[in-house]
Structure 1
């Protein structure tokens, strides 16, 4: 048995034409405030993990074997 496919009503919207003098404004990124750099320096001095940098402890844990007997279990 075959069904006859008929085009249904169109859905969606037609794109509106863009005016010729239209320019999309992209906000400029503001520099980070000095307090942010002070906080990063303090965290680094305390040996904490910093945004955008690898966490050595996490890398060590994630690379160890799942079963007991790896470096996390003292073997």
Structure 2
């Protein structure tokens, strides 16, 4: 039976560090596939929240006071 703490040296390929300046960039943007563009257009037509766009309803809820006030709440 083997144990998890084996002292046998590992063999195989090791990951080499990437040279500086060769990092992956999020700024490399590829055009969206047609099916994704169509889905976004349908969501926009239905008035849904779209990825990457602000959510008006959430902003309104998040900006409202924590405790309700007004005539119904005794305030």
Aligned to 1:57: 57
Q: TM-score, normalised by structure 2?
A: 0.53
The count of corresponding residues between Structure 1 and Structure 2 is: 51
Between Structure 1 and Structure 2, whose CA radius of gyration is higher?
A: 1
Kindly report structure 1 stretches of 4+ aligned residues shifted beyond 3 Å.
none
SS of 2:32's partner is coil
Q: TM-score, normalised by structure 1?
A: 0.53
Gaps of 5+ in 2: 1-16
Q: CA-atom RMSD, angstroms?
A: 3.1
Distance of 1:25 and 1:61 partners within structure 2: 39
Gaps of 5+ in 1: 1-15, 19-23
